[in-house]
Structure 1
């Protein structure tokens, strides 16, 4: 395995970790919103869900765009 393969594998794991963290955040938001007693707790849960979904949708794509080599552009 050469350096390019190691770098690609590391970047893949970073993007996968970001998606897993986003999924965990969305799950936590669902738990908070589902067990909410007051309106601020529901708002917090909803905001956490939306933020997590945004992170899952935007951050990996932004990293992939940033990491593109000049030959791929």
Structure 2
């Protein structure tokens, strides 16, 4: 029983880390996008808008998608 519990705990830790890494990368994308739009980075503004949208998607949508996907596998 403890081996199964340890395995479940390890899976939960990996999933938690994956969700948080996605959120952190999303914040980095948004910050880079805003820097591009403000002119701090010399890239086209369209790239900045695209990075910001992708970052917002990563921060708000992807954690919920992954959580639902993993929840359905556990049941």
TM-score by length of 1: 0.82
RMSD, matched Cα: 1.9
Runs of 4+ off more than 2 Å: none
Quick check: 2:26–2:55 contact (8 Å CA) kept in 1? yes
Q: Matched residues in 1 for 2:59 and 2:9: separation?
A: 24
Name the residue aligned to 1:46. Answer: 49
Query: Is 1:25 equivalent to 2:29 in the alignment?
Result: yes
| Equivalent residue pairs, number | 68
Uncovered stretches (5+) of structure 1, i.e. residues with no partner: none
